Chains A and B, each alone.
Chain A
Amino acid sequence: MSVKQISIFLENKPGTLQKMTDVLSKNRINMRAISLAETKDFGIARVIVDDDYEATQVLKEENFINSLTPVLAVEIKNEVGALSKTLQVFSEGGINIEYMYSFLSVKRPEHACMIFRVTDTAKAEAYLGTHGVRLLNQDELSEM
C-alpha cells in the first residue's frame, strides 16, 4: 500500500523552485507535503499531491523533468516518542530508510504523517502492515 510521490529535477539557480510551484499553483494543484534534496549542482523536489497524474502532466509540459516514486505514508500520533516507536519496528524488520519527511494532519491535528522512501518497498509494506504500523493509502492521505 505505497503512495505516489513526484520527484522533480531542479536546476541549481535562483527562481527554479518558484517556477515549479507556480506551475502547480496556476493549475490549482495543492501540495500535501514537499521536501527538498540538494547537491552542489542540482536539486530534487519531492512532493505529494492529490492528483499525481495531472501534476506530472503539467510539470512535463512546462519542461520540468519528473518521475513517480513509490513511498510509504505512515500515520503516527503527534506525541513524544511516537516516531521512535515506529522506527523501532523498521529496525526490527531490517528495513533500510533512504529518506524521510513529514507533515501534520489538518483535519486531525493529533496525528502526523511520515513519508518514507525505503530500499525495498514491497518487503517493507508486507512487514510493517503485519507489525502494527498504520500505512495510509492514496485516498486516506488525501483525507488527512
Chain B
Amino acid sequence: MITAEQKPLKEIIDSISPYEKIFLVGCNECVTVCAAGGRKEVGLLASVLRLHYLKQGRTIEIKEITLERQCDPEYVEELASEIHRTEAVLSMACGCGVQTLAGRYRETPVFPAVNTLFMGASEAQGIWAERCQGCGDCLLGLTGGICPVARCSKHLLNGPCGGTSHGKCEIAPDVDCAWCLIWERLKALGLEKRYEEIMEAKDWRSAGGGGPRKIVRKDLLL
C-alpha cells in the first residue's frame, strides 16, 4: 500500500490561499487505509480550512468528494460535470492521484494536501512502516522475506555495515538493522548458506534509474 500523511497545515493553506471555491478530493484506496485522505480526513480538513477562513473573516466554499480511486481516469471523470464550479482542487490522494487529476483537468490548478511517503505495511493499528521501494527486481526470495533495499538505510545487498549494533541501525535506536533481521530469519529457516552467497551489484535501471517506468500488458489492451 502507498502511504501518505497530511502536509503541514500552513503549507496547505498557503497553496490555496488565493481561492475561495475549492474541491477537496479524497481517495477511497491506500490513503483511506492509512488514514491520510479518506472520507474522514477530507471532512476534517474541510472543517479545519473553514475554521481558518472564518478566523480571517473570509468565506470558503469547499466541496468534499471522495473518489473510489484517484489514479484511474474513469473515477476521476466523476468530477467532470462540476469542475467548472471550482477555482482549485486540493487532492488528498497520493502523487499518482494528484497527477491523474491534474492531467484530466488542465484548466484547474490541483494541489496536494498530503505528502506521499512510501510503500508500506501496517505494523499495528495506527503504525505503518516502509517495506518496498519498487526496485523492479525483487530480492526477497534471497533474503528471507526481508527487503534490504527498503529496510537497510544504505540499501546494502551483502550484509550489514559497521554501523549495526545489537540488531539496531546506527541512524536511530528504534530502527532495526535489516541485515540482522535477514540473518535471524535465514537461520530460522535453516538457510544460513544463502547469507554467504555474494549478491552482484544491482541493476538500478529497473528501479527508476532508467527513467520513468511503465507497465504495458498487451493482452489487456483494447
* Chains A and B form a bound pair: no
Interface residues of B (CB under 8 A from A): none
Interface residues of A (CB under 8 A from B): none
